[in-house]
Amino acid sequence: MPSRPELGPPASLGYVASILDRAANLRSDQAALAALAADRRAASYVVVGELVVMKRGDSVHEPLFSGDEAAALGKIRETVFLGLAEGVGRFGLGLDQSAVDGLKARYDLFVSDLRSIAVQGLVAPDHLPPLAEAKALLAWHARHRFCPNCGVATEMIDAGWRRHCPACKSEHFPRTDPVVIMLAIDGERCLLGRQSRFAPGMWSCLAGFVEPGENVEEAVRREMQEEAGIRCGRVAYFASQPWPFPMSLMIGTHVQALSTELVVDHTELEGARWFERAEAAKMLVQQHPEGLTAPPPVAIAHHIIRAWVEEGSGVFR
């Protein structure tokens, strides 16, 4: 394999570095929230199921709607307060699923899933973090309408940041599922896996949910052993990323491989294999001779792989 290609300047990680002040102190202040919503500069992101509604542009679309514009889109099931943008209220609106077909039929709107929006650059980058916040929070509400303690329908309070059970008085808060995502390293090789749902030719880091009673390091080692049969030692934290599909936090790591023979769990992975650093570099820039690729820059897996390609064992500093 030839020497590594030039990777170019680093790309931005998706869904991070929000410009919003979450202003948690305002979530239970009904008067303040009403004033923010009444401000003519207030705007909302609109979500219907897994899709985001936008005002159609030439190539980049506008995802913010005024109050009157949003009200005309369909029945609003939930309204959540996302925070402040330079002192102006930003909200997330969840529309009833029945509105989807009508919205898709409108020539002035563009409706797409958040993953495609991020990968294809369909909105200005500053919109991605609040869109991720809105989608994840609204997805949590859609899945938690009833109290898990007694089964009674719950009420949304604190501007969408809590649900209250009127029967047993239980309080329920939005959840984020921690997921470890890791790159196992054996000298000048890294281990990548592939799932059947991936785009053709794409290979990525292995990942899995953190289980109760585990810390991050234990989860990394367990997942590597379960999915690929690889025993691992040292774990080095890299970075994290909110992943609103539906509401996870990706915890990125590099991990030292202590064994190399693969025993793939085909219920989890279509395949797994070791890649040389030069191969991984070519996958990042879509120049691999077999047409293989790595995840796009919006995903943390891309950045985990790139860090190892550029730093080698330095990732364990």
Angle between helices 300-311 and 277-284 (to 10 degrees): 140
pTM: 0.95
pLDDT value of residue 317: 86
pLDDT per residue as tens, the chain (317 positions): 457 899 999 989 999 999 999 999 999 999 999 999 999 999 999 999 999 999 999 999 999 999 999 999 999 999 999 999 999 999 999 999 999 999 999 999 999 999 999 999 999 999 999 999 999 999 999 999 999 999 999 999 999 999 999 999 999 999 999 999 999 999 999 999 999 999 999 999 999 999 999 999 999 999 999 999 999 999 999 999 999 999 999 999 999 999 999 999 999 999 999 999 999 999 999 999 999 999 999 999 999 999 999 999 999 98
Question: How many angstroms separate the CA atoms of 130 and 200, rounded?
Answer: 30
Domains by residue range for the chain, with CATH: 24-143 (3.90.79), 145-174 (no CATH), 177-310 (3.90.79.10)
With 0-12 / 13-18 / 19 or more C-beta atoms within 10 angstroms meaning exposed / middle / buried, residue 233 is: exposed
**DSSP letter at 146?**
B
Give φ, ψ of 113 to 5 degrees: -80, 155
Query: Exposure pattern of 117-142 as b/e (b: 16+ CB <10 Å)?
Result: bbbeebbeeebbbbbbbbbbbbbbbe
Nearest Cα to Cα of residue 185 among 230, 118, 240: 230
Two structure tokens written together for 229: 């049969």
